[in-house]
Structure 1
């Protein structure tokens, strides 16, 4: 009976550590006619994928009060704007941030509709034709960018409830989430731009927006040399852009890890990115 009580207590604690909030009061602007339902795919154990996301939401993971340092991150999972790698590049990152006193807000942004229950089968041919993929994704990238800006707006408006400093809100993302990170930074008005960013193995050509931040905006950039999609030059170009603008930036190119390493343990050098990221956080959050 005692063990049952402990299990129930643990479940109760877990249920209160997350809050789900819709980003818009009604239908999201621009996708009012979308009537399909979000679906979940268990691609591999412990790494769920969401697809057909039509109603953008944020999953809020507040840092424990005894650890909270006032900082927050919007976390954007990747998936080529067709799926969301919600665990490896979202919730697992949020929990890691919580352990370090940082509140995390995982964003489920709008993605392209899948015409079957096998989004990977639809996506794979497009990954060999980025020009066509970009054409398909372009309208959704704009919508997702609005979702990202809306998430920052929510965080700032609810800073007291979230126990965060409205001037210490970062944005990070993986692959398409990295593209979204940069699109939000370059598209948002100055008062809604993130205060620091961490785009991981981003895809540069799909980034929208051109307005650089006025405030000093530190960047942590990461990618693997053996990225199967060839995204290394995009991270290098971003670092060069930050270097030319005299903005603080760290570029970490890991020898092995492939594309989409996220929080997956692959026994490659990319496994160390969270250690590097933690050291960077200690510097910028002093």
Structure 2
């Protein structure tokens, strides 16, 4: 396992450690696709307050002041006829732990996918990262796994591109009708992810970035999207313009508490054919994640290793699901520092 760097364990016999870890996971049961938990994961943690109730309003999400949200498709998105036609809505929840302000938002019924560019602050590293928030392919958790992440990356001198991809039912998701995981007829979220990476690379000169330093970063369901774009290079849609001749392969990948990879039977997603052309990858997940089992990170790391792709894996004792940049006492809190060190080690930042 020369290609896996695994934190928190002795480097001797790492393969035995992973096998033992998988055995432990499987002995406690498979919990990655429990519908109620995935719905909760789509939202910021709820703080009950009669004075500050949740607000879900019809309307298009608005990016932070001074930033522009732009459509990623020149016309209608592929397979747009499959969309259910509901208007986009934004849920606002009171979250005093937010990094800016005291609310967080999640976006539902996205039919016009967009990207929002956060330019670097101060010195530019000329690197860029496309961020895919989570939400179980039911919503896009746009604040804690989107704008807050992009603002932090911009402070590190990295151009951040926030993806608001299509939802719902646009990726592997839980269906309460059959009480099972369902693969959609059209992979609309993957289409949007590929298109966004192509757009960013095609505009590298305009954005002041190095076209060989464009990464993908995802959280939860967004982590699954990151794994998909890291291995699925064939167009998931019919080309619409010259931009679709540009590569969608990220040059590096970051997946935090990924889901949807570990399927029933404790097997990796059969549609995710891990390639030796996958980029170097940073993975982080917590043992006490009750939404997406840690087998998601372990199975993916092992598959990358089998193809000779370097992966850095951090497994935290505590952190649950949805650990992000917000302050807490969980063991997962150091992940931003660990990520910075990894990005330096692969020459993405100085």
Tell whether the structures are fold-level matches, with TM greater than 0.5: yes
Gaps of 5+ in 1: 1-13, 114-122
Separation (CA, whole Å) in 2 of partners of 1:19 and 1:60: 7
Q: Does 2:119 match 1:70? A: no
Preserved CA contact (<8 Å) 2:150 2:160: yes
Q: Does 2:104 match 1:47? A: yes
Separation (CA, whole Å) in 1 of partners of 2:331 and 2:107: 28
User: Looking at both structures, which has the greater relative contact order when contacts are Cα pairs under 8 Å and sequence separation is at least 6?
Assistant: 2
Separation (CA, whole Å) in 2 of partners of 1:99 and 1:132: 43
How do 1:83-162 residues align onto structure 2 when only pairs under 5 Å count? Answer: 83-112=139-168, 126=174, 132=179, 134-135=181-182, 138-139=184-185, 142-162=187-207
How do 1:172-211 residues align onto structure 2 when only pairs under 5 Å count? Answer: 172-189=217-234, 191-203=247-259, 204-205=261-262, 208-210=271-273
Q: Does 2:283 match 1:221? A: yes
Q: Give the 3-state SS of the residue equivalent to 2:332 in structure 1.
A: helix
Q: Spell out structure 1 runs of 4+ moving beyond 6 A.
A: none
Q: Give the 3-state SS of the residue equivalent to 2:106 in structure 1.
A: strand
**Change beyond 3 A, Cα 1:131–1:281:** farther
Separation (CA, whole Å) in 2 of partners of 1:38 and 1:49: 11
Preserved CA contact (<8 Å) 2:276 2:304: no
Deviates more, 1:189-198 or 1:271-280: 189-198
Q: Which residue does 2:115 correspond to in 1? A: 58
Shift of 1:27: 1.4
Preserved CA contact (<8 Å) 2:258 2:297: yes
**Change beyond 3 A, Cα 1:94–1:77:** same
Q: Does 2:67 match 1:21? A: no
Preserved CA contact (<8 Å) 2:274 2:307: no
Shift of 1:230: 4.5
**How many pairs are equivalent?**
256
Q: Which residue does 2:33 correspond to in 1? A: none
Shift of 1:84: 1.0
Within the candidate set 320, 329, 333, 1:271 is matched to: 333
Q: Which residue does 1:168 correspond to in 2? A: 213
Q: Which residue does 1:249 correspond to in 2? A: 311
Q: Which deviations, in whole Å up to 9, do the C-alpha atoms of 1:7-53 show, x marking residues without a partner?
A: xxxxxxx733x221101122111123533221111234232111111
* Greater helix share, structure number: 1
Shift of 1:131: 7.3
- Scaled by the length of structure 1, the TM-score of the pair is 0.82
Q: Which residue does 1:212 correspond to in 2? A: 275
After superposition, the CA RMSD in angstroms is 2.3
Q: Which deviations, in whole Å up to 9, do the C-alpha atoms of 1:123-144 show, x marking residues without a partner?
A: 9xx58x6974531x5246x110
Q: Give the 3-state SS of the residue equivalent to 2:80 in structure 1.
A: coil
Separation (CA, whole Å) in 1 of partners of 2:286 and 2:262: 18
Preserved CA contact (<8 Å) 1:185 1:213: no
Gaps of 5+ in 2: 1-63, 96-102, 235-245, 264-268
